[in-house]
Amino acid sequence: MSSMDVVVKGKCYVEGRLYDRCIGVVDGRIAAIGANIDGERVYDFGGKLILPSAVDAHVHMRDPGATHKEDFATGSLAALHGGVTCVMDMPNTDPPTTTVAALREKANIAAAKSYSDFGLFAGVAQGCDPAALSAGVIGFKMYMAGTTGNLHVPSLESIRNELAEVASTGKVLAVHAENEALRGKGAEKSLGDHLRNRPNECETSAIRKLNNLAVPGLKTHVCHVSAKESLRFVSKSKERTFEVTPHHLLLDQDSKLSTYGKVNPPLRNRRDRQALFNALKEDLFTIVASDHAPHTIEEKEEDFDFAPCGMPGVETIVPLMLQLVRDRHISIQTFVRVLCERPAELFGLNKGRLCLYRDADIMIVDLMKSTEIKADRLHSRCAWTPYEGMSGIFPKAVFLRGEIMIEDGAWIGERAGRNVVESQRKPVEAEA
Ligand code: NCD
Ligand code: ZN
Ligand code: ZN
Ligand code: ZN
């Protein structure tokens, strides 16, 4: 066999188990997995874990339109430092990603700036043209209620035609599921008030509606499930998938975060949080994603009512979840499934798994090395984190398509982010 460009050695996670192995890389893809492989550049990590790096299927890079909060460069560098080598960007930017022109503009920006691989969502709005957008997007996004940006649809009935067109593209429809009609509009002074304005039923009824929506072939993916009552409607199938975020698992309205904890759907009660956590352990959720939604400190310091909703998370999602593995709250298998394998599978990416021909997106992990999460060590332009002081396990090294990008907390690579839509697997034809 011809020699490998790159070889990475360590305790490799292959098909659910750990083995002392070498991973050989040719042209950015895994070309061999074996006990002894030679190559031009050999990275020997001894007994450390070699895991697939993560795919974060829900981020807001704010580019274009709000680059004072984040842009593709800062956001994707933050991602790489945290072991995320592929991000999927949401369409609530300015301009919103609902037209082919806006999608092209964003694709050009991201290709010029991104350090990680990326995929782009297009927003579904009345009169949009999913067939025309389809070739450039990793999936579609629909907002059922108001949140950052102004993309929420008046009702599911009003966009039935557009949804039917989304279904015929075969791509996934990610949904922000809250029921606009059940949103309170009272003044807010605290996280408790924010929760009262977006009660559990506000989310649960939206998920129920979505589950009852009969659009043949439509694959719906419910973003950021947060209420314990919603779990009744959570079940995995090819047509319906569900996501949970670290903040809904680890924070609640009693976390002393004030406006920094203001997010949609809201941080709820401890009981909700525990129910979500149990559901994660029971493997009810398809994926975990960050909903990385940075806003500046200045914006978050506004009066409670005016402070924007959302918190950063793309750099802390892997460290926090690895800490849960270390503390034996979740298994390493669950970790790899919900952060690597399934997000890649759901969106048809050639990533998320250490097996032949996949992209060599790899992270090296030392489960004994917890560090304190501190905003001044993170890379998002927003410069704060709701997890300040909590423990996390940051990857020791990160490879993107076989090239080392991060080692010991420093970026040592060359910028190489690519749009993954070009290698997205064609959706399986909908059955007639
Ligand atoms: C997100 C944002 O700021 O873009 N905010 C949030 O509270 N999650 C939008 C969203 O995902 O709802
Ligand atoms: Zn949302
Ligand atoms: Zn979001
Ligand atoms: Zn613990």
Candidate from 291, 306, 382 with most ligand 1 atoms within 8 A of CB, to mutate? 291
- In the chain, the number of structural domains is 2
Q: Which listed ligand is nearest to 264 at the C-alpha?
A: 1
pLDDT tens digits along 342-386: 999 999 999 999 999 999 999 999 999 999 999 999 999 999 999
Residue 70 CB contacts under 8 Å (≥ 6 apart), including other chains:
60, 61, 62, 63, 294, 312, 380, 381, 382
Q: Looking up tokens 């525990």, which residue turns up? A: 274
Residue type, 107: A
Reading across the β-sheet that carries 29-34, which strands appear in turn?
29-34, 17-26, 4-14, 39-52, 362-365, 397-400, 403-407, 410-411
Q: Is the domain of 210 the same as that of 297? A: yes
Is 252 in the active site?
no
Residues with C-beta less than 6 Å from any ligand 1 atom:
60, 92, 147-148, 176, 263-264, 291, 293, 309-310
CATH code: domain of residue 388? 2.30.40.10
Question: Which of 311, 329, 346 is where one domain is finished?
Answer: 346
pLDDT grade for 1, boundaries at 50, 70 and 90: low
Q: Is the domain of 39 the same as that of 147? A: no
Q: Which listed ligand is nearest to 148 at the C-alpha?
A: 1
pLDDT tens digits along 124-151: 999 999 999 999 999 999 999 998 888 9
Which is the catalytic residue, given 5, 56, 252, 291?
A: 291
Centroid of ligand 1 to alpha carbon of 31 (angstroms): 39
Centroid of ligand 4 to alpha carbon of 326 (angstroms): 9
Q: Is the domain of 83 the same as that of 153? A: yes
Q: Distances in Å between the alpha carbon of 285 and those of 20, 297, 335, 341? A: 30, 32, 12, 13
Domain membership of residue 13 as a residue range: 4-51+355-431
DSSP letter at 341?
I
112: three-class secondary structure by DSSP: helix
pLDDT tens digits along 278-319: 999 999 999 999 999 999 999 999 999 999 999 999 999 999
pLDDT tens digits along 209-265: 999 998 999 999 999 999 999 999 998 888 999 999 999 999 999 999 999 999 999
DSSP letter at 266?
P
pLDDT tens digits along 2-31: 589 999 999 999 999 999 999 999 999 999
Please give the share of the chain, as a percent, with pLDDT higher than 90: 95
- Name the token pair of 427: 């959706």
CATH code: domain of residue 281? 3.20.20.140
